[in-house]
Amino acid sequence: MLRGDVATVSVEDLDRMLDINVRGVFLAIQAAAARLTDGGRIITIGSNTAVRSGHPGSSVYSMTKAAVAVMVKGIAVDLASRGITVNNIQPGPTVTDMTVDLIEAIKPLIPLKRAADPDEIAGLVAYLASKKSGYMTGSSLTIDGGMAI
């Protein structure tokens, strides 16, 4: 995530975020699909910013995450004939090494007043990877303590 508003984001920063957050996801899905057996699962990790861009300077990042959500819908259709499901998880603030210094400042913005534990996100990944989710494809599931409401 490189911050900057519409007047200050450089073309280089735009290209970098598109390359990592959109192109990279597409190429990873493409490589996975070539190796998966029929009935496999593809799960991407996006961001709740795909549906809620509430911070100045985050519009490009949010755009890239929204692109992933739309991409998953199309690729799910492409792979449906093989029984491969493609879904996207859109976590909100989660306690990680990258966010540990920011969590306290963000908590007041979260209706549940806390950040996610990584295990909570992992539980959703486990469900989407299981046979129980076999009828779910092309979905983006937001798990963010209510931020995107």
* CB-CB contact of 63 with 5 (8 Å): no
Between CA 58 and CA 127 the distance in angstroms is: 30
Q: Which residue has the tokens 């963000």?
A: 106
Q: Is residue 71 one of the residues assigned to a domain?
A: yes
Enclosing domain of residue 92: 11-143
Q: Mean pLDDT per segment of 10 residues, for the chain of length 149 residues?
A: 79 95 98 98 95 81 96 98 98 90 89 96 98 98 91
Q: Is residue 76 one of the residues assigned to a domain?
A: yes
For residue 130, what is the DSSP state? S
Burial class (CB in 10 A: 0-12, 13-18, 19+), 6: exposed
Q: Is residue 47 one of the residues assigned to a domain?
A: yes
pLDDT of residue 149: 74
Here the CATH number for the domain that contains residue 62 is: 3.40.50.720
Overall number of domains in the chain: 1
Q: Is residue 93 one of the residues assigned to a domain?
A: yes
Active site residues: 61
Q: What is the DSSP string of 18-50?
A: HIIIIIHHHHHHHHHHHHPPTT-EEEEE--GGG
Q: Is residue 136 one of the residues assigned to a domain?
A: yes
* CB-CB contact of 115 with 85 (8 Å): no
What pTM value is reported for the model?
Answer: 0.92
* Count of CB atoms situated within 10 Å of the CB of 26: 14
Q: Is residue 1 one of the residues assigned to a domain?
A: no
